[in-house]
Every structure is written in C-alpha cells, then in structure tokens.
C-alpha cells in the first residue's frame, strides 16, 4: 500500500419507521473502504441506513444501504431503598431481657398472693 493513500468521506442517512429521511452524520473510511459510525436512534422501530460516497476525480459516486431495528431504550429498574425502622440486635436483646424480668416479677407476685391466701 502507498503511504499517501487516504480514505474518503461517507455521508450516512436514515429513513426511520415513520418514513422520515434525514442525514445523521459523516465519517471517513480507511484505505480499504471500511468505516464505522456511532449513532443513537431517537425513536424505536425499523430504519434503513444509507451510506453515500459523493465520488472523486478517480471514482464514481456510490450508495448502499442496510436495515436495522432499534428497540425501546431500556430504563433502569427502580432501586429499592433499604428498609427503615427495623429493630437491631441490641434492641431485640433489650426487649427479651425486659420481658424476662417482667415475667419473673409477675410470677413472684402470683406466688406471694398464693402464699398469702394460705
């Protein structure tokens, strides 16, 4: 290959699923005629993508097309917020000890009342 070879400018256009034609940008090919282009469709549906080369003094103009389908843009799933107001281990231990003491006091009172009646 010759070191002075360069690619050519490619114009990219689309026909969207509503039948609207519009240019979406230009890119430059490499010396082999390959090119790439990043584009985000604005509506979902079928698209015809048209690549056009205007021609030069050495080459005739050229056009080709392909088709693609653009789906809905995924939305992020809602993130669950952490639950609030839950008891901690320390809270549970405090409640268990409190209930235990209350039960001991209740049994002691019942025991005293039974012994008093006799």
Q: The domain that contains 38 carries what CATH number?
A: 2.60.40
62 shares a domain with 25: yes
Residues 21-61 pLDDT 10s: 999 999 999 888 889 999 989 889 999 999 999 988 888 89
Asked whether residue 79 is assigned to any structural domain, the reply reads no
Residue 80 belongs to a domain: no
Rounded to the nearest integer, the mean pLDDT of the chain is 85
Query: 0.85 cut: is pTM over it?
Result: no
The total number of structural domains in the chain stands at 2
* Percent residues over pLDDT 90 in the chain: 33
Q: Are residues 65 and 92 in the same domain?
A: no
Domain around 109: 88-118
What pLDDT does residue 111 have? 78
How far is residue 47's CA from residue 50's CA, in Å, rounded to a whole number? 9
Which residues lie across from 10 on neighbouring strands? 27
């Amino acid at each position: 290959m010759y070191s002075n070879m360069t690619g050519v400018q490619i114009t990219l256009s689309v026909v969207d699923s509503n039948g609207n034609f519009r240019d979406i940008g230009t890119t430059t090919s490499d010396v082999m005629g390959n090119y790439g282009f990043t584009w985000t469709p604005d509506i979902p549906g079928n698209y015809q993508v048209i690549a056009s080369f205007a021609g030069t003094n050495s080459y005739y103009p050229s056009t080709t097309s392909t088709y693609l389908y653009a789906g809905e843009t995924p939305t992020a799933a809602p993130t669950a917020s952490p639950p609030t107001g839950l008891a901690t281990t320390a809270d549970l231990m405090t409640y268990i000890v409190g209930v235990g003491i209350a039960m001991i006091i209740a049994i002691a009172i019942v025991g005293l009342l039974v012994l008093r009646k006799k």
